[in-house]
Structure 1
Amino acid sequence: MTEKNNKIPFEEDNYTHNINRSNERKLDRRGFMKTLVGAAGVFAVSSLPWGAMAAKELMGLGEKEYPRKKIASLDSVAVGDAVEFAFPGEHDSAIMIRLSEKKFVAYQNACTHLRCPVFWNKEENDLLCPCHHGKFDVETGAPTAGPPRRPLPEIFVKVDKGAVYATGVKRYEA
């Protein structure tokens, strides 16, 4: 004669009495995939406005107007000297070199390899990136040695009323 164990307050006398079978699986594989696809869709739709704004900004770079900024007065820069300045923004480092009495060139002052600063080397007549020994042609901004493959972004300069001004940034096509 077997006696029923009266110490378990459940109707079933087995080891699975603690499983609530009606809510055993609240999220199965199909439910998980639906949730995952729904979350991805919400993310995609919410990022569309930002993507549209970025595309609009990139499409208009060629026509972008920059405020004219004075770099230096003509008499303060000797032939062969360089002047550092910020353009187009206050945190965008740039460098201008006076090549002759009437010729000036300016470039953004960040190597196109790893964004290290670029320095004017008057003795060798080139722009030097000391991080990986990259060199750029001062006339064109094109790389001549080292790991850089792209030219330095050119800044348009204009001489007006005894001063040199930065007027824009050249757009390079990919």
Structure 2
Amino acid sequence: MNEEKQPRSDRNDTYTHNIVKSNERSLDRRGFMKTLVGAAGLFAVSTLPWGAMAAQKLLHGEAGEQPRQKIAEVAALRAGDAKEFAYPGTHDSALLVCVREGEYKAYQNACTHLKCPVFWSKENHELLCPCHHGKFDVETGNPLAGPPRRPLPEIELAVEHGVIYAIGVKPYEA
């Protein structure tokens, strides 16, 4: 009986006795959205330096000089022959093709569509990507068929004293 005479707010059997109303809405929807937009803006601004460096590298090439690397002896390649090598780094696969006697072309042999390896077809006189039937012109590196839209990156060559050297990668031209 004594319980019934106590005011309702003093009872411990209600569901609202543990709510502190002064801090009830410390993070509402508007506050959450402001925090979310602020975090996204901070992330966007923090990635700008890396994006600028990547764009500069893509449009203007490496800032430093690329290494000079021996690929093959001229006497070892005949017209229509090809040789795989790594350039400019040890994990960057490339392909040298003897187009005609005394004329050589070299490309990074990762397809510009999805980076599948590109192979030389001596019979068809073209570079092939087996993943999606992409074909590239050996003279220019431009795509001939399939989903690739960009040409293969060309490796600059120098022939000196009967030796073929890779001397750089041409920058991408849009």
TM-score category, normalised to shorter length: 0.7 to 0.9
* Residue segments in structure 1 that go unaligned for 5+ positions in a row: none
Q: Which residue of 2 aligns with 1:110?
A: 110
Query: Cα offset for 1:59?
Result: 4.8
Which residue identity lines up with residue 142 of structure 1 in the other structure?
N
Q: Tell me the TM-score normalized by structure 2.
A: 0.83
Q: Which SS does the other structure have where 2:35 is aligned? A: helix
When the two chains are superposed, the root-mean-square deviation of aligned CA atoms in Å is 2.7
**Over 6 Å off, 4+ runs:** none
Which residue identity lines up with residue 10 of structure 2 in the other structure?
E
- Bigger helix fraction: 2
* Residue segments in structure 2 that go unaligned for 5+ positions in a row: none
Query: Cα offset for 1:23?
Result: 2.2
Q: Which SS does the other structure have where 2:100 is aligned? A: coil
Q: Which has the higher contact order (CA 8 A, sep 6+)?
A: 2
CA contact (8 A) 2:111 2:129 kept: yes
2:77 matched to 1:77? yes
Q: Which residue of 1 aligns with 2:125?
A: 125
CA change 1:83–1:30 in 2 (3 A) is same
2:132 matched to 1:160? no
What whole-Å deviation, never above 9, does each CA across 1:46-101 have from its counterpart, x for those lacking one? 33333343344345317652111110011111222101001111111110111222
Which residue identity lines up with residue 86 of structure 1 in the other structure?
A
2:66 matched to 1:66? yes
**1:9-48 equivalences in 2 (<5 Å):** 11-12=10-11, 14-48=14-48
Query: Cα offset for 1:143?
Result: 1.8
CA contact (8 A) 2:112 2:149 kept: yes
What whole-Å deviation, never above 9, does each CA across 1:142-165 have from its counterpart, x for those lacking one? 222222222211111110111000
CA change 1:51–1:124 in 2 (3 A) is closer
Q: Which residue of 2 aligns with 1:88?
A: 88
CA change 1:113–1:45 in 2 (3 A) is closer
Q: Tell me the TM-score normalized by structure 1.
A: 0.83
Distance 1:40 1:112 in 2: 31
